[in-house]
Amino acid sequence: MSTPNFKYTNRCIVVSDDDYENGNYPRYEGENEISGNRNYPSYKLRGQPEGCGILIAILTGAYYSGACIDFIVDPNWEEETDPAQLDQEANVMNKFLDKIVEDYGLEEVECVAVFSNGEAIYEPVKTN
């Protein structure tokens, strides 16, 4: 049985193997502190955006090749979450990640199909 290459929640900004080897990606901290999943290790990016306390930007290793940048609710967040605050932080986080795409020349993709054998098809996200 196969599995999709990328695991993401909100956005899948691809860091290719070449990008990684050439240092063309935002730096991260820690040792797989976020997911604890050895198949898709996730690391918190350094320099989180101002105004975000619930959401964090992460770099998640891909299953086969590369990695992706995404944002998630901080797994250490224990307080009740106000939906309006989450929406506000998501807007801040999306602008932060848009700047990463622009600064590093990375491509954002989305999963458009997963077959019964686990193989996935990704296509570039269309921007306005």
Question: What pLDDT is attached to residue 14?
Answer: 97
Q: Average of pLDDT values for 26-54? A: 83
Give the tokens for residue 128. Answer: 């306005």
Compute how many other C-beta atoms are within 10 angstroms of the C-beta atom of residue 89: 21
Give the pLDDT confidence score for residue 46 in this predicted structure.
93
CB atoms within 10 A of CB 54: 17
Which strand ranges, in their side-by-side order, compose the sheet holding 107-114?
Answer: 28-29, 42-45, 55-61, 67-73, 12-15, 107-114, 120-124
Between 82-91, 101-110, 114-123, the lowest mean confidence (pLDDT) is in 114-123
pLDDT value at residue 26: 96
Q: How far is CA 54 from the centre of its chain?
A: 15
Q: Report how far apart, in Å, the C-alpha atoms of 73 and of each of 21, 50, 128 are.
A: 28, 15, 26
Q: In the beta sheet, which residues pair with residue 42?
A: 60
The pLDDT tens digits of the residues spanning 85-100 come to: 999 999 999 999 999 9
**Does the pLDDT value for residue 126 go beyond 90?**
no
User: Looking at residues 40-54, what average pLDDT do you find?
Assistant: 91
Q: Return the amino acid letter for 77.
A: W
Instruction: Report the pLDDT value the prediction gives residue 1, as an integer from 0 to 100.
Output: 42
User: What tokens were used for 87?
Assistant: 């929406």
